[in-house]
Chain A
Amino acid sequence: MSPTATKSKNPVSPKDRMKIPRQLMPEQPAEERAHNFEEVNLGYSAELAQQEAKRCLECAKPTCTDNCPVGIDVKKFVELIVAGDFLGAAAKIREANVLPAITGRVCPQEDQCEGKCLLSKKVKPLGIGYLERFVADYEQKMGIHVVPNVAPTGKRVAVVGSGPSGLTVAGDLIQKGHKVRVFEALHEIGGVLVYGIPEFRLPKQIVREQIDYMREMGVEFETDVVVGRTVTIDELLEEEGYDAVFIGTGAGLPQFLNIAGEHLNGVYSANEFLTRINLMKAYKFPVYDEPMLDLKGRDVAVIGGGNTALDAIRSALRLGARKAYVIYRRSDAEMPARAEEVHHARQEGIDFQMLTAPIEFLSDGKGWLTAARCVRMELGEPDASGRRRPVPIQGSEFDLPLSVAVIAIGTSANPIVQSTTPGLVTNRKGYIQASEETQRTTRKGVFAGGDIVTGSATVILAMGAGRRAANSIHEYLTTGAW
């Protein structure tokens, strides 16, 4: 027996662990879920979770933790699941991650913890994301919230934006005894978690519960505040008495293709399309007042190959679209979306038009979209991103009839905070310049992290930045050193 196994609570010998198959995530049947907004994945039972947890090889040097942007002690929390101490497992995760029910659902585990799992050399990796989700949901179901009992430091921190990075900063700093107030531009807390990611991937109830938990811990929230317009960073520091500010305003402005017909009625940005659905509940019109175009029996396409693109087109399908296409200019291999999402989308009947790009949107002459004129592509030499550059194939143009097209090709930096904060240096693309280690900006007492620093990335990378920022804000508040 190996040295690790002697201390192990795992009754299965390391050799036999490989023989346990990865436990499948129970999910709603594709044909059913394509017509509703209920969650696709249903979650492990306690039995499934323990069976899956037993597959962990308990590596002496776990690479899973090294590859987690927030450094969750995976080995330890999985061991607690094997031992049946689910609340202990949740507490272990919370030491590193204040939003486990969310990351357990939306993290790209295949690129992170699970991607480096030793099991994956021979068999399928440990279902770390599924296990994280299981314990977070278990904790929530039990209704046990541990509210930290720390001495107040008397320091106050303003957090700008209530998305993944801001919530992480708030959750971490409140547990260190600082007062934290989070400012949100929209009327609901959660940022991209509420306006961007759809219900079937991340139920809003889960987000609300996590936020309520943070309220219980003492985090204050103020909605309807656009920092830069309603109040400036300087006013927060000088007039409102905050000792530090964290900027986590997110990705920002949607990019468009800059092709003819992009202003036609029926052409949306993914941000607008998803905001109407997720935040404004436009699909419940007229119970909710915000309208959106009726998709029933219509043909809809999304342009782009990321998670946002898939969120948009899978939403369209659920709203009754007859045909639902993904138009992506590169091939499967280059698609940035999570493998699980692509798999789910294919199961649901999404039609992937790969190596295809729209060159013009066509209208009925009255301002309404009728089709996308597309061209087929082939892959040439690698470009700056390291991916092979798509090149149009001469004479391959064709028209794809469409009532609605959703552009999901990325975002550019929102300039509101940067343009109203003197001394805050930005990079060439307008994103805020911040240290990769400390998330410090060029302004004393001002930190930044998440998409507003890196450009569009993932929930967990934003949370990782939030974690680093919280640590360095704490250091700054306790030492005063900059």
Chain B
Amino acid sequence: MFKIIHAEFLAPGIKRFVIEAPRIARKQKPGQFVILRIYEEGERIPVTIENSDPERSTISIVVQAAGKTTHLLNSLETGDAILDVVGPLGKPSEIRKYGTVVVVGGGVGTAMAYPTAAALKQAGNRVLSIVGARNQELVILEKEMRAVSDAVMITTDDGSYADKGFVTDKLRQLIENGTRIDLVIAVGPIVMMKAVAEMTRKENIHTVVSLNPIMIDGTGMCGGCRVLIDGKSEFACVDGPEFDAHKVDFSVLVQRNTMYRDAEQRSLAEYRHSKSAEAGKCAVTAPQGAQA
């Protein structure tokens, strides 16, 4: 059991959890993730680690409610516990001095881009960050990103905050202004990462993306997270999760992530139904210590 030391919403549907996990806290490096399982009948899902504090033996994760498991997770509060948390998994981000690095975070991906941006800054890079969200409410970690970046550009799809548009608009501006860019790191929705990759490919700018395929064990055993990289199968859990964006076959990634769409929708619908049917008590098979 892994105790939740602190839980808070960063934005509607986006929650940060500080979890007691001494072993993981000691070893975590930017770019790595954990796999968690909330309760006995639960599925295993990968979640990127936002930060860790070895002194306090804690890690933090940021979760956006999308399916049943993430909705359930976001119903947990300070003092609750998660049954299984395993990690840190995956290869860490390659942190060294590149020169100027553009870090692109889309939506909840900003939480995953943040530790990498911080580490790159500390390694002596000039860090230009682009943060995108659907609207003002969903812009997260702005303060944190500003603290580790030389400049932060923000876009919202609807223009409710900062500049209206997409992260790629800002990236294009940087390129058109003749900014020398040595590396782009993009973390966010697949469509965003793909758009960034297509833009930088033409400019020959080395670009890294963090992929999020379906996973079970996270140690290379199941092969479910295989992605097509430069025409070859690689496992995101052990060979990634970060890959050269220009070698990733994004369409295969999108297609494989739809494999269980029907089941996921059914799960979520049943979860919502049980939540709305309940009157003050949790009707879902209760996670250990879950709050109603």
Q: Which residues of A are interface residues toward B (Cβ below 8 A)?
A: 185-187, 195, 223-226, 229-231, 250, 252-254, 256, 258, 262-265, 268-269, 271-272, 275-276, 279-281, 285-293, 367, 414-416
Contacts and interface: CB of A to CB of B under 8 A. Distances in A.
B259 interface: yes
A414 B220 contact: yes
A288 B224 CA distance: 19
Contact of B221 (A187, A293, A414): A414
Contacts of A230: 23-24, 27, 86-88
Contacts of B217: 185-186, 195, 275
Contact of A275 (B85, B216, B260, B267): B216
Contacts, number: 126
A224 B221 contact: no
A226 B86 contact: yes
B41 A263 contact: no
A332 B86 CA distance: 42
B259 A293 contact: yes
Contacts of A414: 219-221, 238
Contacts of B134: none
Interface in B60-90: 68-69, 83-89
Q: Which of B222, B226, B252 has the most CB of A within 10 A?
A: B222
B230 to A, nearest CB: 13
A195 B221 CA distance: 10
A445 to B, nearest CB: 21
22 contacts: A185-B86, A187-B37, A187-B44, A223-B84, A225-B86, A226-B219, A229-B89, A231-B27, A256-B223, A263-B226, A263-B228, A263-B252, A264-B255, A268-B224, A271-B222, A275-B217, A285-B263, A287-B41, A289-B69, A291-B267, A415-B238, A416-B219
Contact of B223 (A223, A254, A290): A254
A262 B255 CA distance: 13
Given A229-B89, A291-B260, A416 B43 contact: no
B270 A286 contact: yes
A25 B168 CA distance: 67
A429 to B, nearest CB: 15
A253 B44 contact: no
A363 B219 CA distance: 29
Contacts of B221: 195, 250, 252-254, 271, 275, 414
B204 to A, nearest CB: 27
Contact of B83 (A187, A226, A293): A187
Contacts of B252: 263
B222 A275 contact: yes
Contact of B255 (A256, A265, A268): A265
A47 to B, nearest CB: 40
A468 to B, nearest CB: 25
* For the complex of A and B, 7 pairs with smallest distance between CB atoms: A291-B263, A367-B255, A269-B223, A272-B222, A289-B43, A290-B43, A224-B86
Contacts of A268: 224
A272 B223 contact: yes
Nearest to A223: B84
Given A289-B43, A289-B69, A276 B216 contact: yes
B91 to A, nearest CB: 10
A416 B223 contact: no
B243 interface: no
A265 B270 contact: no
Given A272-B223, A275-B216, A415-B238, A187 B27 contact: no
Interface string B12-24: 0000000000011
Given A224-B85, A230-B88, A231-B23, A269 B41 contact: no
